[in-house]
């Protein structure tokens, strides 16, 4: 039987490598990668020295050390999830504004094109020898 | 005073043309906003009949379609906007009633119809009204007038995250200190049998939940 430290270290390293590969391939943006790297590194450290959890649990008065681990994990995931929700809301607002502006700009371009077509000297060619002034709205 | 009539449309175009033709008799400037309807072929019909339109590639929501109309109206220098539902529920005469109030200087004019809706619906609306402390009673009405200064405010940040043109909009407008007035108008039954905002019972429930959350979060 291998010591449990080896198991936790291997799990930690695998998680770290997955995060590292995702960042390398550009699947995760650098600004998000930072948080994930921090998580990956702490997983490796905790895997190498699981005693830390026991020590901290003893210091904080938690009698069952794994409970502390779960509490921290849930906390971290909750914060990350919240952050994602904020990010999604922000993006939705941005998309809406962009789409509204795009629709309006499309319309204005269309209108410009229409007034352009009604000017015969423009559609005929580049010859500007007969400049014609059309009233702009 | 130059006024633009906004008609937001989402998949209800069979009823649209008669409504638009009725409107054209009273208003010269009409803008249809296609809120990402699945069948885009009606846009060419609109074009043939000489109606102006904006079009979204996908559905954003009723209120967001109106906001796009605001942006257009602001760019083109209109003094006010009247929103008008495309499902035949509103009458052009009702829209005509809005205009003088906009000229008088009100920022938001709401056309209400007290005869509308079932008893349970009315009770529900009354409760929401009480909770929010809103002056306007018929806050689901889509027949509204907005002044230029109101439009400038209503296209900004917090208003972009709203979905319906209803309580949320009026609630925040009231908080911002825009002047509002309610005008009695007559409305007919909508031609299409289904409501746009409330097609199913689940949408009613989700609407209620969202609105309640909204009220409790933003209450002064």
Could you give phi then psi for residue B59, rounded to 5 degrees? Answer: -70, 125
Burial environment of residue B20 by CB neighbours within 10 A (0 to 12, 13 to 18, 19 or more): buried
- CA torsion sign for B99, B102, B104, B110 is positive
B4 forms beta bridges with B81
pLDDT at A23 over 60: yes
Please give the pLDDT value at position B74: 93
Closest Cα in chain B, distance from residue A125 (Å): 27
Smallest Cβ distance to B60: which of A96, A101, A108? A96
B17 vs B186, residue with greater confidence: B17
pLDDT, position A81: 93
State mean pLDDT over B79-92: 86
Chain B hits for A103, Cβ within 8 Å: 33, 54-56, 68
Q: Taking residues B95-118, report their average pLDDT.
A: 82
Determine the pLDDT at residue A127. 46
Q: Do A104 and B64 touch (CB under 8 A)?
A: no
Q: What is the mean pLDDT of residues A39-66?
A: 88
Chain A residues inside the 8 Å CB shell of B56:
99, 103
Q: Which residues of B touch A (CB under 8 A)?
A: 33, 52-58, 60, 64, 67-68, 71-72, 75-76, 155, 157, 160-161
**Spatial contact of A34 and A19, defined as CB atoms under 8 Å apart:** no
* Interface predicted TM-score (ipTM) over 0.90: no
Q: Which positions in chain A touch B75 (Cβ < 8 Å)?
A: 104, 108
pLDDT value at A51 more than 60: yes
The pLDDT score that the predictor gives to residue A19 is 85
State how far residue A104 is from chain B, nearest Cα, in angstroms: 6
pLDDT in tens, B34-79: 988 888 888 888 888 888 899 999 888 888 999 999 999 999 999 9
Q: Which helix (H) or strand (E) holds B83?
A: strand B80-83
Please state, in angstroms and rounded to a whole number, the distance separating the CA atoms of residues A51 and B206.
49
User: How do beta strands B80-83 and B3-9 pair?
Assistant: parallel
Nearest-CB residue to A107 (from B64, B67, B72)? B72
Give the residue ranges of DSSP H helices in B106-200. Answer: 119-132, 148-154, 157-160, 167-176
Supply the pLDDT for residue B191.
54
- Position B199 scores a pLDDT of 62
**H/E element holding B82?**
strand B80-83
What DSSP line would sit under B26-42, residue for residue? Answer: T-S-EEEEE---S-TTH
Nearest to B161 among A89, A104, A137 (CB): A89
**Domain that residue B20 falls in:** 3-218
Residue B135, pLDDT score: 76
Residue A98 confidence class, pLDDT cut points 50, 70, 90? very high
If you measure CA to CA, which chain A residue comes closest to B56? Answer: A103
Given an 8 Å threshold on Cβ–Cβ distance, is B60 in contact with A99?
Answer: yes
Q: How far apart are CA B37 and CA B55, in angstroms?
A: 9
Residues 6+ apart with CB under 8 A from B36: B10, B55, B56, B57, B58, B59, B60
Please tell me which residue, B47 or A105, carries the higher pLDDT value.
A105
pLDDT tops 90 at residue A74: yes
Query: What is the domain-level CATH number for residue B213?
Result: 3.90.550.10
Domain count, chain B: 1
Which tens digits make up the pLDDT trace of B94-105? 888 888 998 888
Of B84-88, B115-119, B169-173, B191-195, the range with the lowest mean pLDDT is B191-195
Q: Are B40 and B55 in contact (CB under 8 A)?
A: yes
Confidence check: pLDDT of B189 > 70: no
Beta bridge partners of B32: B7, B53
> b vs e for B53-78, b when ≥16 Cβ sit within 10 Å of the residue's Cβ?
bbbbeeebbbbbbbbbbbbbbeebeb
Question: Residue B4: pLDDT band by 50, 70, 90 thresholds?
Answer: very high
Q: How far apart are CA B4 and CA B73, in angstroms?
A: 7
How far, in Å, CA of A53 to CA of B145, rounded? 63
Which residues, listed in sequence order, are joined to residue B9 by a DSSP beta bridge? B34
Provide the sign of the torsion angle of the four alpha carbons A79, A83, A89, A92, taken in this order: negative
Sign of CA dihedral B135, B112, B17, B50: negative
B85: phi > 0 → left, psi -120 to 50 → alpha, else beta; which?
beta
């Amino acid at each position: 039987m291998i010591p449990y430290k080896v198991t936790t270290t291997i799990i930690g390293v695998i998680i770290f490598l997955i995060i590292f590969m995702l960042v390398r391939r550009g699947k995760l943006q650098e600004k998000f990668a930072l948080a994930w790297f921090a998580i990956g590194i702490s997983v490796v450290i905790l895997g190498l020295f699981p005693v830390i959890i026991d020590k901290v649990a003893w210091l904080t008065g938690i009698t069952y050390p794994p409970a502390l681990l779960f509490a921290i994990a849930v906390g971290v995931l909750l914060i990350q999830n919240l952050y994602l929700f904020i990010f999604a809301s922000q993006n939705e607002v941005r998309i809406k504004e962009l789409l509204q502006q795009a629709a309006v700009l499309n319309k204005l371009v269309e209108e410009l094109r229409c007034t352009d077509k009604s000017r015969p000297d423009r559609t005929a060619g580049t010859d500007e020898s007969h400049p014609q002034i059309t009233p702009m709205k | 005073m130059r006024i633009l009539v906004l008609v937001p449309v989402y998949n209800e175009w069979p009823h649209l043309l008669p409504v638009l033709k009725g409107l054209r008799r009273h208003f010269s400037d009409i803008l249809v906003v296609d809120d990402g309807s699945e069948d885009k072929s009606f846009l060419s019909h609109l074009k043939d009949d000489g109606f102006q339109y904006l079009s979204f590639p996908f559905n954003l929501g009723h209120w967001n379609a109106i906001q796009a109309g605001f942006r257009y109206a602001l760019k083109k220098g209109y003094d006010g906007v009247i929103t008008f539902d495309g499902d035949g529920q509103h009458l052009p005469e009702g829209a005509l009633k809005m205009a003088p109030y906009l000229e008088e200087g009100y920022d938001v004019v709401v056309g209400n119809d007290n005869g509308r809706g079932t008893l349970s619906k009315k009770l529900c609306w009354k409760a929401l009204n009480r909770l929010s402390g809103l002056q306007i009673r018929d806050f689901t009405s889509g027949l509204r007038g907005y002044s230029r200064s109101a439009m400038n405010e209503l296209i900004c940040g917090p208003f972009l995250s709203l979905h319906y043109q209803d309580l949320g909009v009026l609630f925040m407008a009231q908080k911002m200190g825009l002047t509002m007035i309610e005008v009695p108008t007559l409305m007919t039954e909508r031609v299409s049998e289904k409501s746009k905002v409330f097609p199913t019972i689940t949408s009613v429930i989700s609407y209620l939940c969202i609105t309640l959350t909204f009220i409790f979060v933003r209450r002064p």
